Chain A
Amino acid sequence: MWGVIKSVLAAFFGVQRERQRQEDFENGSPVAFIIVGVVLAVVLVVVVALVAVQASR
């Protein structure tokens, strides 16, 4: 699970080692990546929103 999160975070940042990428794409189903991706996208929105709320104080 942690590996999936790390890979998705790397994708968000846009940088990934080729070896790690190969491994990710060997590992069967993409469903785990999609779920984690959606969740982390929501987390990103919440984080930016929280920063904005904090900054507007």
Chain B
Amino acid sequence: MAPKLPPHHPLEQSTSAVAGGQASAHHSPPRGIMRWLLTTNHKEIGSLYLIFSLVMFFIGGIFALVVRAELFQPGLQLVQPEFFNQMTTMHGLIMVFGAVMPAFTGLANWMIPLQVGAPDMALPRLNNFSFWLLPVAFALLLSTMLMPGGGPNFGWTFYAPLSTTYAPPSTTFFILSLHIAGISSILGAINIVATILNMRAPGMRLMDMPLFVWTWLITAFLLIAVMPVLAGVITMMLMDINFGTSFFNAAGGGDPVLFQHLFWFFGHPEVYIMILPAFGIVSAIIPTFARKRLFGYASMVYATASIAVLSFLVWAHHMFVVGLPLVAELFFMYTTMLIAVPTGVKVFNWITTLFRGSITFEPPMLFALAFVVLFTIGGFSGLMLAIAPADFQYHDTYFVVAHFHYVLVPGAVFAIMAGVYYWLPKWTGHYPNVKLSQWHFWLSVIGVNLTFFPMHFSGLAGMPRRIPDYALQFADFNLVSSLGALLFGASQLVFVAVVILCVRGGEKAPAKAWEGAEDLEWSVPSPAPLHTFDTPPNFRPHEH
């Protein structure tokens, strides 16, 4: 993130200038802000994505800390319920659409061309456009909080009719901002698919691709499939609010449950959009630091694909208590249980890769190992939630909050951090400071568990989610959660320090920064020059 700008190699520029005078004009980029506004370079756009997502991570984090501060003890101390609801909603929206998704897209931008041996993304100008849509979308989203009646306050799932008939006037702007963010995601996904399918180095077959590329290819297809559904459902909301339709308004003959079906048909694949690339990152890191091939490369690819297919068949498990017919409950219970099988295959593969390896614990490995353990804990609670009768007790309680934060924070976010630590030497030419990274890791692990583990208990004991105040028996759990959240939030400042220090200096990294690393990105110098693979690399398929 924020790498010192890689030096332009005058030599490379002059070689391409041979091709014609126009090319050299093309290659002298504008300076200052215009350079970043107009850049079409995948590395620069990747950095922009990552910096943007880090900023959003802190904004969303501050919102979460407001929530945790209010819940520190029973009673209303700091904020009123209206504002509390805006905080929970904005926290969710910003973390999902502003922090996690752009972080993965940023990693994809940086690494996919390097990993498949392509000179850049397939559609560089589109790439610039899809990034710059994001600041627009989120500036608009954040600005709704200053509008009369406040910003969105109906939860990140924005169930109608709370988000239509009963919504604050700013909801139309919220819809517009989601549309813009959605367009950005679709364009980014199209670009990734085009790059992976068309620009692989000669000789690299699909089954030779690194798993990060594979998981992103599948994720990109998921994005292309479901983002239009989200666009459709928010357009229906827009019509209900502004043009007098009644898609979701029962008084006009509409159907509030239809909203949930449409939302979760987008929303469940969205969950996998946020975790599949994480699987890819972890599948790169564990073999590197165990110095041993991934146990089952093909199974990993197959498991990713089958998770993606199943993710379209399980959406109504978010709706077990809306009064679905019995057959539907059973169908979605069975499919949801099935999805545990490929997920288990992945975990077993990582662990078997560790078995009889030669293991070291560099910072990326620490985060990847914590990912395996804590994501699996999130998987266990997911399995419990799949049991429909028991879900009648778990649904919409803190048990669910604990579950999805375990898969998203020590799941997706830890994988992103593992990826950042893993590839920082490639981006900046320096290793991240080991001592500070270890501090960051241990503080984060302790913080994340203190925050989210007690939520299992408060949920089982009966605490509903999204409430600004709670009964006295939940006080101890909430106190621990709030302290943990503060610790976790504060320890991310260490992360920023590590990244800044690493950009500015540190131990020099060679091209192959990690002894056990195999993929193509380690064949270019560290830091990676602005233009790599101008001529396709010589790809030798090493056996997976």
Q: Taking the complex as a whole, does A directly touch B, i.e. does some CB pair lie under 8 Å apart?
A: yes
* Interface of B: prevailing SS: helix
Q: Do B303 and A14 have beta carbons less than 8 Å apart?
A: yes
Instruction: Give the complex CA separation of A40 and B207 in angstroms.
Output: 22
**Chain B residues with CB below 8 A from A51, complex form:** 330, 334
Instruction: Give the complex CA separation of A45 and B299 in angstroms.
Output: 22
Q: How far is the CB of B338 from chain A (nearest CB, A)?
A: 8
Q: A21-B207, A56-B326, A56-B327 are in contact. Are A15 and B334 (CB under 8 A)?
A: no
Write the A11-38 contact mask toward B (1 if CB under 8 angstroms, else 0). 1101110100100010000000000000
Judge whether A48 is part of the interface by a CB distance below 8 angstroms. yes
Judge whether B341 is part of the interface by a CB distance below 8 angstroms. yes
Partner of B334, one of A16, A41, A52: A52
Judge whether A39 is part of the interface by a CB distance below 8 angstroms. no
Partner of B335, one of A12, A21, A48, A56: A48
Instruction: Give the complex CA separation of A8 and B370 in angstroms.
Output: 33
Q: How far is the CB of A5 from chain B (nearest CB, A)?
A: 15
Judge whether A1 is part of the interface by a CB distance below 8 angstroms. no
Contacting chain A: which of B59-67, B305-313, B400-408, B514-522?
B305-313
**Chain B residues with CB below 8 A from A4, complex form:** none
Q: Do A16 and B298 have beta carbons less than 8 Å apart?
A: yes
Q: A41-B309, A49-B331, A51-B334 are in contact. Are A16 and B207 (CB under 8 A)?
A: no
**Chain B residues with CB below 8 A from A52, complex form:** 327-328, 330-331, 334
Q: A11-B305, A52-B334 are in contact. Are A18 and B298 (CB under 8 A)?
A: yes
Q: Do B306 and A55 have beta carbons less than 8 Å apart?
A: no
Q: Do B331 and A15 have beta carbons less than 8 Å apart?
A: no
For the complex, count residues of B whose C-beta is within 8 A of A.
Answer: 22
Q: A14-B306, A14-B341, A51-B334 are in contact. Are A45 and B207 (CB under 8 A)?
A: no
Judge whether B205 is part of the interface by a CB distance below 8 angstroms. yes
**Chain A residues with CB below 8 A from B6, complex form:** none
Q: Do B313 and A45 have beta carbons less than 8 Å apart?
A: yes
Q: A52-B327, A53-B327 are in contact. Are A11 and B302 (CB under 8 A)?
A: yes
Q: A48-B331, A48-B334 are in contact. Are A14 and B345 (CB under 8 A)?
A: yes
**Chain B residues with CB below 8 A from A12, complex form:** 302, 306
Judge whether B74 is part of the interface by a CB distance below 8 angstroms. no
Judge whether B342 is part of the interface by a CB distance below 8 angstroms. yes
Instruction: Give the complex CA separation of A11 and B301 in angstroms.
Output: 9
Instruction: Give the complex CA separation of A32 and B206 in angstroms.
Output: 16
**Chain B residues with CB below 8 A from A55, complex form:** 330
Instruction: Give the complex CA separation of A39 and B328 in angstroms.
Output: 22
Q: Do B299 and A14 have beta carbons less than 8 Å apart?
A: yes
Q: How far is the CB of A33 from chain B (nearest CB, A)?
A: 11
Partner of B302, one of A14, A48, A53: A14
**Chain B residues with CB below 8 A from A11, complex form:** 302, 305-306
**In chain B, residues 47-105, which have Cβ atoms closer than 8 Å to a Cβ of chain A?**
none
Instruction: Give the complex CA separation of A21 and B206 in angstroms.
Output: 12
Q: Do A14 and B334 have beta carbons less than 8 Å apart?
A: no
**Chain A residues with CB below 8 A from B342, complex form:** 14
Instruction: Give the complex CA separation of A15 and B296 in angstroms.
Output: 9
Q: How far is the CB of A46 from chain B (nearest CB, A)?
A: 11
Instruction: Give the complex CA separation of A52 and B486 in angstroms.
Output: 46
**Chain B residues with CB below 8 A from A21, complex form:** 207, 298
Partner of A25, one of B207, B305, B313, B335: B207
**Chain A residues with CB below 8 A from B306, complex form:** 11-12, 14
6 A-B residue pairs with CB within 8 Å: A11-B302, A14-B345, A45-B313, A48-B331, A49-B327, A52-B327
